[in-house]
Chain A
């Protein structure tokens, strides 16, 4: 087990190296002089020179990449061109809303999608199954921001049950914090729910064909026990894998959801950075998101034994 874990951890190093090289190269694969790109259209030649010196563009590419990686290892993600604040500080300021949104979405999505998939598989071929599958196709088709606007229009503007937009820090009370995040979480969760419900249904259909399910039925296990204890346990590995892969959808969706609901999180930071061409911030955010994504999937890989004790490494 330990050897396997070590191998998996080591295997993520080349992946992260490719990500880092790509993110670092972003500036240099753009057409034109990176210093001029950063300086923008209204820069004087002195500005361009100053930025070129600060980037160390006079030194060889791989040495610069090495320096850059070394400084990231020490937690230094560079300095924002727009605000002159360290990128790590800016990320730290914005991380709470995004993290809150993702955690709520994750909990919401899992608690809706898995029962949905299980019930659809149980009632295969009935109208319940067909409506779950129909919902899944809709979930894949309606973009995040469309769901966001419809929800905000109905529940915030028309019914006035929830705030239209904004964010309240967790420290100012759990309820106001939660209230602001319900609608964004539902909007963001749509695709994720569709994805998980579909894979849950598919895996459950396969598992329910197995002999041990018939045995369980024969010895008198109730329907709920069969579905949620015997079958779901054995269907866990593919479901958990998709939950991990789907985190990419959550990250991408957060960028949009935060714009719709005016949540001052990392997604909003990314959009602002792109509009201002604030490259160090763009690089920092992409690096962080990718790192989290790789880490989540690594953890899930390592947790397989927990979900399915038959898996031994």
Chain B
């Protein structure tokens, strides 16, 4: 682009003259505080706002004109969406609107719980692996093995062993996510160990636990937070996939995956049963992903320009 503009504006024999600089630069308005942070990171503002809205919707579900999401009403089966049934009713006459709102709870609980447990356990394993030489080889071989099983298949396999419950879904997805977190933490730990300030701490006789706590741990938190957001998003998708194929949340609990699984048989004639939970699931995952992208850009400015 620059070459073509030059060719157009500069003919042979012309002299390029720089435009005069303004004498006084306009004052840069720096917004401070939390609002300023949101202003500088619109992705976090949008993702976080959407997320808060969805959390509020899940928590306040009983107040948002819902009915009992499990109440059967055989006489009012598969009604199209209307003023009475905003999202219609399913093949057992249950109100899809109420089911979708309550279903948000399962997705959020699974997403947050998996993000939390996978981060904590992954952090512990990563720290051990980064500091204990003999354990590192063994742990990393196990993680390599687990990582070579596609994570959703790993979760499916674990669910096949147990009866469906929200706790088991969280456990299965957490196990499938741990290898990635521990690899990330280990990588960070190994690079931090080479830092001069860690050498200095070792030389001045600081104990290993104290080095881990004061020098290593704080530096792993930024990448770990970003990773946790992405884990939250993929856990929500994994929960819906598990429920959708019938190996996840038990059918009596409304979850977005369950609603879609039940609507599957009728989706060609009553597509709304599948589409409403699908829209909510996609929006929620989108919100978490936006939050993750925003956090990554905000916490690690070097990464911002790259991916």
Determine if chain A interacts with chain B: yes
Hey, which chain B residues are within 8 Å of A251, CB to CB?
Answer: 150, 153
Q: Are A256 and B245 in contact (CB under 8 A)?
A: yes
* Chain B 135-168: CB-based contact to A (< 8 A → 1; otherwise 0): 0000001101110111111101101111000000
CA distance A294 to B150 in the complex (A): 10
Q: Are A286 and B245 in contact (CB under 8 A)?
A: no
CA distance A137 to B47 in the complex (A): 12
B interface majority secondary structure: helix
Q: Are A252 and B151 in contact (CB under 8 A)?
A: yes
* Chain B 253-292: CB-based contact to A (< 8 A → 1; otherwise 0): 0000000100000011001001100100110011001100
Distance to closest chain B CB from A227 (angstroms) = 14
Interface residues on B, range: 35 or more
> Which of these binds chain A: B193-201, B220-228, B236-244?
B236-244
Distance to closest chain A CB from B135 (angstroms) = 15
Q: Are B307 and A143 in contact (CB under 8 A)?
A: no
Say yes or no: A286-B141 contact (C-beta < 8 A), given A143-B285, A256-B244. no
Contact of A202 among B237, B241, B268, B307 (CB under 8 A): B307
CA distance A79 to B60 in the complex (A): 50
Hey, which chain B residues are within 8 Å of A146, CB to CB?
Answer: 278, 281-282
B247 interfacial by beta-carbon distance below 8 Å: yes
Say yes or no: A202-B150 contact (C-beta < 8 A), given A137-B293, A146-B278. no
Say yes or no: A206-B306 contact (C-beta < 8 A), given A149-B274, A271-B246, A290-B150. yes
Q: Are B149 and A145 in contact (CB under 8 A)?
A: no
Q: Are A275 and B247 in contact (CB under 8 A)?
A: yes
Q: Are B305 and A205 in contact (CB under 8 A)?
A: yes
Q: Are A255 and B153 in contact (CB under 8 A)?
A: yes
Q: Are B149 and A286 in contact (CB under 8 A)?
A: yes
Hey, which chain A residues are within 8 Å of B247, CB to CB?
Answer: 271, 274-275
Contact of B142 among A18, A144, A256, A289 (CB under 8 A): A18
Q: Are A248 and B244 in contact (CB under 8 A)?
A: no
CB-CB contacts below 8 Å: A224-260 with B:
248-249, 251-253, 255-256, 259
Hey, which chain B residues are within 8 Å of A293, CB to CB?
Answer: 148-150
B5 interfacial by beta-carbon distance below 8 Å: no
Distance to closest chain B CB from A57 (angstroms) = 16
Q: Are A31 and B282 in contact (CB under 8 A)?
A: no
Say yes or no: A149-B278 contact (C-beta < 8 A), given A251-B153, A274-B159. yes
A99 interfacial by beta-carbon distance below 8 Å: no
B58 interfacial by beta-carbon distance below 8 Å: no
A303 interfacial by beta-carbon distance below 8 Å: no
Hey, which chain B residues are within 8 Å of A14, CB to CB?
Answer: 141, 144-145
Interface size on A, residues (CB 8 A): 56
Hey, which chain A residues are within 8 Å of B151, CB to CB?
Answer: 248, 252
B125 interfacial by beta-carbon distance below 8 Å: no
Hey, which chain B residues are within 8 Å of A290, CB to CB?
Answer: 148-150, 153
Q: Are B260 and A145 in contact (CB under 8 A)?
A: yes
Which of chain A's residues has its CB closest to B282's CB? A142
CA distance A282 to B162 in the complex (A): 14
Hey, which chain B residues are within 8 Å of A35, CB to CB?
Answer: none
Q: Are A149 and B306 in contact (CB under 8 A)?
A: no
Q: Are B282 and A289 in contact (CB under 8 A)?
A: no
A17 interfacial by beta-carbon distance below 8 Å: yes
Q: Are A259 and B286 in contact (CB under 8 A)?
A: no
A157 interfacial by beta-carbon distance below 8 Å: yes
Hey, which chain A residues are within 8 Å of B162, CB to CB?
Answer: 30-31
A26 interfacial by beta-carbon distance below 8 Å: yes
A22 interfacial by beta-carbon distance below 8 Å: yes
Hey, which chain B residues are within 8 Å of A77, CB to CB?
Answer: none
Q: Are B278 and A19 in contact (CB under 8 A)?
A: no
Contact of B146 among A22, A141, A144, A253 (CB under 8 A): A22
Q: Are B145 and A145 in contact (CB under 8 A)?
A: no
Which of chain A's residues has its CB closest to B155's CB? A252
Distance to closest chain A CB from B176 (angstroms) = 10
Say yes or no: A199-B245 contact (C-beta < 8 A), given A146-B281, A255-B156. no
B100 interfacial by beta-carbon distance below 8 Å: no
CA distance A30 to B172 in the complex (A): 12
A217 interfacial by beta-carbon distance below 8 Å: yes
Say yes or no: A137-B148 contact (C-beta < 8 A), given A146-B281, A205-B306, A274-B247. no
Q: Are B233 and A140 in contact (CB under 8 A)?
A: yes
Distance to closest chain A CB from B274 (angstroms) = 5
Which of chain A's residues has its CB closest to B293's CB? A137
Which of chain B's residues has its CB closest to A251's CB? B150
Q: Are B282 and A143 in contact (CB under 8 A)?
A: yes
25 A-B pairs (CB sep. < 8 Å): A15-B148, A19-B148, A22-B149, A26-B161, A29-B161, A30-B162, A137-B286, A137-B293, A140-B285, A143-B285, A149-B267, A149-B275, A153-B267, A198-B307, A206-B306, A252-B241, A255-B241, A256-B244, A270-B156, A271-B246, A275-B246, A286-B149, A286-B153, A293-B149, A293-B150
Interface residues of B (CB under 8 A from A): 3, 141-142, 144-146, 148-154, 156-157, 159-162, 233, 237, 240-241, 244-247, 260, 267-268, 271, 274-275, 278, 281-282, 285-286, 289-290, 293, 305-307
Not counting A23-B157, A279-B160, a sample of 16 additional A-B residue pairs whose C-beta atoms are within 8 angstroms of each other reads A14-B144, A16-B148, A17-B145, A18-B141, A19-B145, A26-B157, A30-B161, A141-B285, A143-B237, A145-B240, A145-B278, A255-B156, A274-B246, A274-B247, A286-B149, A290-B149
